[in-house]
Amino acid sequence: MAADAGVPIIPMVTWGGHRLWTKGRPKTLTRRHTRIMLVVGEPLPVDPDEDPAVVTATLAERMAALLEEAQRDYPDTPTAAEDRWWLPVRMGGTAPTPEAAAAMDEAERQARAERRRTA
Instruction: Give the per-residue SS3 of the chain.
Output: CHHHHCCCECCEEEECHHHCCCCCCCCCCCCCCCCCEEEECCCECCCCCCCHHHHHHHHHHHHHHHHHHHHHHCCCCCCCHHHHHHCCHHHCCCCCCHHHHHHHHHHHHHHHHHHHHHC
Interval 5-52: pLDDT, tens: 999 999 999 999 989 888 878 888 887 888 999 999 999 999 999 999
Give residue-wise pLDDT tens across range 43-79.
Answer: 999 999 999 999 999 999 999 999 999 999 999 988 8
Q: Could you tell me the residue ranges of all domains in the chain?
A: 1-76, 80-119
pTM for this one?
A: 0.78
